[in-house]
Amino acid sequence: MEHVLAILVGLFVALGIYLLLSRSVIRMLLGMVVLGNGVNLLIFTAGRLTREIAPIVPDGLSVPAGPIANPLPQALILTAIVIGFAMFSFLLVLAYRAYQTLDADNTDTMRLAEPDNAPNPPLSY
């Protein structure tokens, strides 16, 4: 069953990259979210799948009774989800401000830092 999820991960990554390659800033933002989900699933699947048994030690025991889901990828992904959300919010506000200031949500028209036909550096000492 992991192979089905592996293919699903591939779909997530492919769509994320496709959206990121767009010139529309909002689509790039969606791409970031999709790509992030894909990578989270990648880590999750790489840690092998176990159905329904959460990594929680039952009351009164010092170790779980039977096999449990791998807790390590879960810890990593939990961090990744939160950081991903922080990044998403920041990028969203950045895109919003860029739209307000430059009146554009298309990366082709956002050339303030690297303008077309930038002049040569001065030929002197």
Partner 1 sequence: MAGDLTQTLDPLLILVALAPFIAALFTPLLQRLIGSYAGWVLALVPAGIFAYLSSYLHPIATGTLVQGAIDWVPVYNLRLSFYLDGLSLTFALTIAGIGALVVLYAASYLKGHPHQGRFLAFLMAFMGAMLGLVLADNMLALFMFWELTSVTSFLLIGFDHSRQAARRGAIQALVVTNIGGMGLLAGVLLLQMIAGTWEMSAIGGVVRDSGLYGIVLACILLAAFTKSAQFPFHFWLPNAMEAPTPVSAFLHSATMVQAGVYLLARTTPFLGGTEIWTTLLVGFGGVTLIWGALGAMRQSDLKQMLAQTTIASLGLLVLLIGLGTETAILAMVAYFVAHALYKAAMFMIVGAVDHGTGTREITALGGLANVMPLTFFAAVLAGLAMVGLPPTIGFFAKEEMYLALANTEWQGILTLLVLVAGNALLGGVALLVVIKPFLGAMTETPRHAHEAPPAMLAGPILLAIAGVIGSIFIIGLADYILSPAASSIRGDYVESHLGWAIDLTSPVIWLSVATWILSGAVYYWAGAIRSGLRRASSALGWTADTVFDAVMFGLIRFAGAVTRWLHHGRLELYLVLVFVTLALALFVPLLGMGGLERLLPTAELGNWSAVLAWPDLRPYEWGVIALAVIGLGAVLMAPSRLVAILSLGVQGAAVALIFLLFGAPDLAFTQFMVEILSVVILTLVMTKLKLDERDPRHLEDLLRDGTLAVVCGAGVSLLLMVVLAGPLDTRLSDFFTATSVPIAHGANIVNVILVDYRGFDTLGEISVVMAAGIAIMALLRSRKKPAAPPKPRTRKAKGATA
Q: Any idea which residue has 């949500």 for tokens?
A: 105
Cα 31 to chain center, whole Å? Answer: 8
Report the nearest approach of partner 1 to the CB of residue 60 (Å).
10
CB of 69 to partner 1, least distance (A): 3
CA distances 49 to 9, 36, 37, 45, 71, Å, are: 14, 19, 17, 6, 11
Asked if 72 and 80 touch (Cβ cutoff 8 Å), the reply is no
Q: What's the min distance (Å) between Cβ of 63 and partner 1?
A: 6
